[in-house]
Amino acid sequence: MTPVYIVAAGIHPFGRTEGRSGLQQGAFAVRQALADAGLRWADMQFAYGGSDAAGNADTMVSELGTTGLPFINVANGCATGGSALFGAWSAIASGQFDLGLAVGFDKHPRGAFDPQPRDWGLPDWYGETGLMLTTQFFAMKIRRYMHRFGISERSLVRVAEKAFRNGALADHAWRRAPVDAATIASAPMVSDPFTKYMFCSPAEGGVALVLASEKRARELGGLAVRLRAAVVRSRPAGSFEVFAPMIEGTGEASATRLASAAAFEMAGVGPEDIGVAQLQDTECGAEIMHMSENGFCADGAQEAWLAEGRTEIHGILPVNTDGGCLACGEPIGASGLRQVYENVMQLSGRAGARQVPGRPRLGYTHVYGAPGVSGVTILEAPSWT
């Protein structure tokens, strides 16, 4: 396979932007990425893009230019951005193209996400019982995990506290003010054990990444972060997933475990080699469980990891250095690409006040979406400038 590099990155700030559509936010990110590499829209040979609630990504050609390029729309729940990147990576790795784009954006209305059972192949009664409420499912899932592996509610608070502290350092984050532990713990309960500060919010934003073959990346010069692995996996038998809350067998299998193992194999590295990680954190429990599912620690070890600050920016494995979904919110189409954007900034030394010390060599991203789809990437720092 042809080595694939990210040669430019652009982002529209997350949060709420009145007067600008989700599609326009995506186009903003594309223009920023193109300017980052000194490229034009006409240089793009293809694009993959997605949005959950803000329209078809391919219609942004009316904003950017009707050049006739193949533009593939992607829809894969919260893994939409990761799936768009996987498509773009595949197009270049195959040797068919040498320069293209992955873009994701969204603009969700205020309030909770409102999934409909029929859109997920489920009967109406499934929603009538409340099982479509993601807040309820994730609360049940972490309660089970806490009971099995000795995770305390204090660990949930630590995850949220870190997220808002990191978000305060990220220009693109929505929630840019630290929140203290006492406020997080005593806030109104949403779904036990989660208070309102322990969930992400539907949001707005856009991210674009320009990908290139090694030959084209060298010609362009400048940024060249290698995409060592890009993997997407769906749920296996025996998994315990949102919109499929049943346990068959041990319940230990998961799309995340499959995607993580495949990514490490593809990149030829292990969890111990990763210098910075962005893990799906739609709520505090997700970050905790995903630390284990992605192979970074044993189940239950998160209690000590968090207490000892190992996942802080100056820790042994910084996790969600821009505040993750908790601080940035979750515009579904853009969220997975935001993780990759953050690792590009970290690996290229452009993360500013939140820069991980020592310029990490390898960055890891993990995104998870309903009804059980996970996307994982492993990036390598530039080898030339």
Domains in the chain, please, with CATH?
Answer: 4-108+201-380 (3.40.47.10)
Report yes or no: 100 and 211 within 8 Å, Cβ to Cβ.
yes
Q: Residue 238 has what pLDDT?
A: 79
Structure tokens at 49: 């893009």
d(C-alpha 14, C-alpha 107), whole Å: 10
The pTM for the full model equals 0.95
Range 366-373 average pLDDT: 86
pLDDT tier at 236, thresholds 50, 70, 90: confident
Which tens digit of pLDDT belongs to each residue from 67-97? 999 999 998 877 888 889 999 999 999 999 9
Mean pLDDT across the chain, nearest whole number?
93
| Tens-place pLDDT, residues 143-200 | 999 999 999 999 999 999 999 999 999 999 999 999 999 999 999 999 999 999 999 9
Question: Is pLDDT at 300 greater than 90 in this prediction?
Answer: yes
pLDDT tens readout for residues 240-265 = 877 775 666 666 788 999 999 999 99
Q: In what order do the strands lie in the sheet with 71-74?
A: 71-74, 47-50, 99-107, 204-213, 4-15, 225-234, 373-380, 362-369, 276-279
pLDDT recorded at residue 219: 94
Cβ proximity of 376 and 255 under 8 Å: no
C-alpha triplet 228, 97, 368: angle, nearest 5°: 45
pLDDT at 385 over 60: no
User: Residue 249's pLDDT is what?
Assistant: 60
Collapsed DSSP state (helix, strand, coil) of residue 306: helix
pLDDT of residue 269: 98
